[in-house]
Amino acid sequence: MQFVMAMSTSKKGEKESVECTSVEKASLTDQAMERLTEFVLQAGPDAGWRLPPEHELCDRLGVGRSTLREATKVLEWQGLVRRVRGRGVEVVDRSAKATTDLMQLSLRRGSVSHEELLEVRTIYEVQAAALAAQRATREDLERIKQALDAMQAADTTNEQYIDADLKFHVAIAAATHNRVLCLIVDTILPLLRDEIVATLQNEKRPESRHRYHARIYKAIRREDAQAASAAMANHLAGAKAMLEIHQKQMESAEHESA
């Protein structure tokens, strides 16, 4: 329909021609942005890695300099790259950190609660345990076991216990070999630490009594997906109970101090 209207008069035709050129340019920029993003992720995954010179990058991506510059601006706005005077364009990749910082800030402000985070954990970690039981390699099992051993060691400090707890859950996510899940866990890792600390306020070494993590590991090692997911669900239910006790104690302390 627009094409027919464009042919009706020369003025309209000229106008339509300009509009089509703009769409084409936008399309080229979008394509260049996709190619540049893929190039950065594949060739320069580490922060501080610099992009090749502009002329070389144009040849590799098959685009002109103006299109490349527009695409670079978009990636710069997204926090994936930045321009450094005298050094060119380098990889930054602050996107995951920005997401984590925003979630932590929301949690501190009270708009996101530990209970809400625990609900999200229940959604993905129960299934993650089942997938780990089906997909874990020998190396995956070793990483999970190392974290468990650190949690159970008598000479482990509280801080070491918390680190080992985190590593345990990260290792299970890695054992699913699902990159999206691993990215989610990496993003909320600081929030997981805060939640673990909160659950330990009333019981410093719950693993020694409840054996939640040990049951999860044994089920994964047996390749029993159903048992692994059930053990994880029990663990998170226990964490919820400890969080509720912690919350009641905080409310009681606030009431007494008022």
CA distance 171 to 175: 6
pLDDT 10s digits, 12-71: 444 343 343 344 545 777 888 888 877 776 765 555 678 888 898 899 888 888 888 888
User: Which contiguous run of DSSP H or E holds residue 216?
Assistant: helix 212-221
Whether 169 and 85 map to the same domain: the answer is no
Whether 53 and 161 map to the same domain: the answer is no
Asked if pLDDT for residue 146 goes beyond 80, the answer is yes
Contact 51/40 with Cβ under 8 angstroms?
A: yes
Asked if pLDDT for residue 85 goes beyond 70, the answer is yes
Whether 70 and 176 map to the same domain: the answer is no
Whether 246 and 127 map to the same domain: the answer is yes
Q: What is the CATH number of the domain that holds 220?
A: 1.20.120.530
Whether 103 and 7 map to the same domain: the answer is no
Whether 52 and 77 map to the same domain: the answer is yes
**Facing residues of 90 across strands?**
50, 82
Whether 121 and 240 map to the same domain: the answer is yes
- Residue-wise DSSP of 93-159: --HHHHHHHHHHHHHHHTSS-HHHHHHHHHHHHHHHHHHHHHH--HHHHHHHHHHHHHHH-TT--HH
Whether 31 and 81 map to the same domain: the answer is yes
The mean pLDDT of the chain is 81
Whether 161 and 228 map to the same domain: the answer is yes
228-243: average pLDDT: 93
- Give the total number of structural domains in the chain: 2
Residues in the chain: 258
pLDDT 10s digits, 115-143: 888 999 999 999 999 999 999 999 999 99
> 23 CB contacts (<8 Å, ≥6 apart)?
none
| Domain hosting residue 60, numbered range | 2-91
Q: What is the CATH number of the domain that holds 58?
A: 1.10.10.10
Question: Among candidates 205, 32, 237, 31, which has minimal Cα distance to 125?
Answer: 237
